[in-house]
Structure formats: C-alpha cells, structure tokens
Structure 1
C-alpha cells in the first residue's frame, strides 16, 4: 500500500512538471531562444505554475502518509489491547473452572458448586418456560440466586469480567482492517474451556440477579420464553 502511494506521488509529480512545459512549447515552439528575457519569462511562467502545484501535491502526499501511519499505530495498539484481554479471559476462565469444581461447604453429598449452579439454573429455566407468569417466577427465584451470587462473589465477578472483555474485543474487532474474528474465536475458546452448558448456566444466574446483564452464551429470558411457546404453537 505504501509503495503504491509513493509510485502514484512520483507519477503525479512527473505529470505536473511535464504538462506546463508541453503547454509552453506548443505555444512558443521548440527552438531554444538566445534572448535572456525570453528565458526569464519562461522561468517565471514555469515556476509560477509548477511550484504551487508541487507544493499542493506534497502536502496531500504527506497528509496521506500521516493518516496511514496513524492507522497503523491504532491497529497495533488495538491488537495489543485484544491480546491483553485474551490473557485476562484465559486467567478468569481458569479461575472459574477451579471454583466450580470445589465441593460446597455443608454439602454431605459432596455436591460441587458446578452441580449446584446447574441445578439452580435448570430449575429456574423449567419454571420460567412452563410457568403462566414468567415475571412471578423470576421474582421468586431472584432471592435464592442473590444469596448464591453474594456467597460466591469471586466466581461471578470473574464471569462479569469475561463478559465485559468479550464485548470490548467485539468492539475492537470493528476497528481492525484484518484478523477481525477475535471475538468469535475467543468466545469459542471460553465455551471449550469452561463448558458450553456451564457458560449458559452462569449467564442464566447473572441474568436472574441483574436484568441489565447482557448474556453472550444464551438468549435473554423473554426471547427464550417466546421461542419456546412459538415452537409449541407450530406443532
């Protein structure tokens, strides 16, 4: 790209310097004059026409180069930021896996946090979809989820950070000229690392806890409810 811009610049320079000369020669002939005044007039004409044009061309070229340099620097900065976010996501994913595998205190059956999260999310999803008043179901379940979130704040805070980092990567992807699949690839990596079902359950519990939460691994509750009942009507 940069080589092409340089080539175009020199092509324009040659054209600008040649056109006034060709115009002058077509009007006054090709014979070299021996009169000093004629040379002075030619120099005044040539410099007055070519000088401003070359100046304008140089300014445009330098501006183009500056824009290209700024774009390259922005691309590098955003790529580095995406890499930093990926590292953070990997760290939080590892932490969540470790916490989910721990046995919950007071559970004689040795139930892990992962099992408890899955059971809570599954029970809510079932009641929400099959209930006659989804808002009542959400209100009744929110207290239990609030207790769970507050007791295990670190794991849910980590999930929120993953959610925020993925959304930031998605935004940064739109500014890149190449390699714009970072969000999709990282989202797939989280699904494989933490587990697709576990990701959906974490989104479910946080959406129950905070209705403003934006889930990335499941649709929102109302869409889920509408899709399920729309599917029943079509049967």
Structure 2
C-alpha cells in the first residue's frame, strides 16, 4: 500500500509541475483559436504522456513484486502443510509398529526402546550395542520413520517456530515424552544416522 501511495504522489507531482510550468509560461484560458488548443494538446501529450507511462510502469513493477511475494508465501505455506501432514502420516504408521510384539525382540518395540534408554549400560557395553543394532535392524522401518519425523520437525523449526512447537506437542502427546526421548537416543545408537533431536 505504501508503494502505491508513493507512485500516486510521483504522478501528481509530475502532472502538477508540468501544468504549473505551462501556465506560468503561456497562461491558460478558453481560447477561440484552434491552434492554441492544438499547442496545449501537443505539449501535454508530449510531456505528460511519458510521466504517466513511467508511473504506470512503476505500478506494474510493484504489482509483479507483490504477486511474487504472495506466490512465495503460498509455496511456503503449502510446504509447511505438507510437512505437518507428513508427520501425521508417519505417526499413524509408527504407532502400530511400536506396539507390535516382535518374537526376535521378545516384546513391543516401544517397551524395549524405553528399557534400553533407561539402562545406561547399553551406551557403555559395546556387545550390548551390537546386539541392539542387530535386534533393531528387523525393525528398521520404524527407525527410519522416526528419522523422517525428526527431519520434518527440523524443517518446521527453521521456517515457523509456532508450527514446530505445535507438531512437537502433537508427537509428544501421541507417543509420550519418555518414548520420544528414548527413540531419539536409541535410533541414533542403533542406526548411526545423524539427525536433530527435538525431545529432551
């Protein structure tokens, strides 16, 4: 809106200046001679035409810039919505996988992940970590889903802090804070994939 006002002021000043110069030099009146009106029309057409064309170009450039900004904002909003949808979809897939009882792991994955996180010996004892990696490799899809969720949260954190906090809250409510913290730690131990942790 500010740019439109500036363009309008430029146009009015340009028109006023040209009219003032003409009137001060030649005067203004209702002439009876056709040639006087022709001279007035030629002057205004030759001088005011470019001024009006220039302000029209300024206005057009402003409109193009505004449309580009709106397009950028729309694309960003669309990407944020896609990431939020992606998190919800991955959670719908992950929750049943965390609840399934696995014969190799001898229990639900969620319980095993929390137990591993509580048991500090897993971070110290290399043999236990190797067993963990071997056991969780059968549940690799669940681990990758968690990394995907973390990646989508990282994107939201970078572009919209409020939407990021909403999604962190959503994940925490659906899985529980302790399980989220445990997944961050255990998935890193089991896969060696480097990803940003969003739960402390």
Given the two structures, how large is their TM-score scaled by the length of structure 1?
Answer: 0.70
CA-CA distance at 1:190 after TM superposition: 1.0
Cα offset, 1:159, TM superposition: 0.6
Counterpart-to-counterpart distance in 2, 1:171 and 1:107:
37
Given the superposition, is the C-alpha separation of residues 171 and 18 from structure 1 closer, same or farther in structure 2, using an over 3 Å criterion? same
Question: What residue number does 2:175 align with?
Answer: 194
Shift of 1:62: 0.9
Decide whether aligned partners of structure 1 residues 107 and 146 sit closer, same or farther in structure 2, where only a CA change above 3 A counts.
closer
Structure 1 residue runs without a partner (length 5+) = 129-136, 174-179, 219-235
Tell me the alpha carbon deviations over residues 135-187 of structure 1, each in whole angstroms, 9 at most, x when there is no partner: xx3866542342243121111111111111122233443xxxxxx62222112
Structure 2 residues not aligned, in runs of 5+: none
1:180-227 deviations in Å (ceiling 9; x for gaps)? 622221121111111111111111112223262221213xxxxxxxxx
Query: 2:60: which partner in 1?
Result: 62
CA RMSD of aligned residues (A): 2.9
The answer on 1:185 being equivalent to 2:172 is no
Change (3 A) 1:9 1:69: same
Q: State the partner residue of 1:158.
A: 145
1:97 touches 1:194 (CA, 8 Å); kept in 2? yes
Say which SS state the counterpart of residue 102 (structure 2) adopts.
coil
Distance across 2 between alignment mates of 1:172 and 1:214: 15
Match of 1:112 among 105, 108, 112: 108
Task: Report SS of the residue matched to 2:90.
Answer: helix
- 1:207–1:215: 8 Å Cα contact kept in structure 2? no
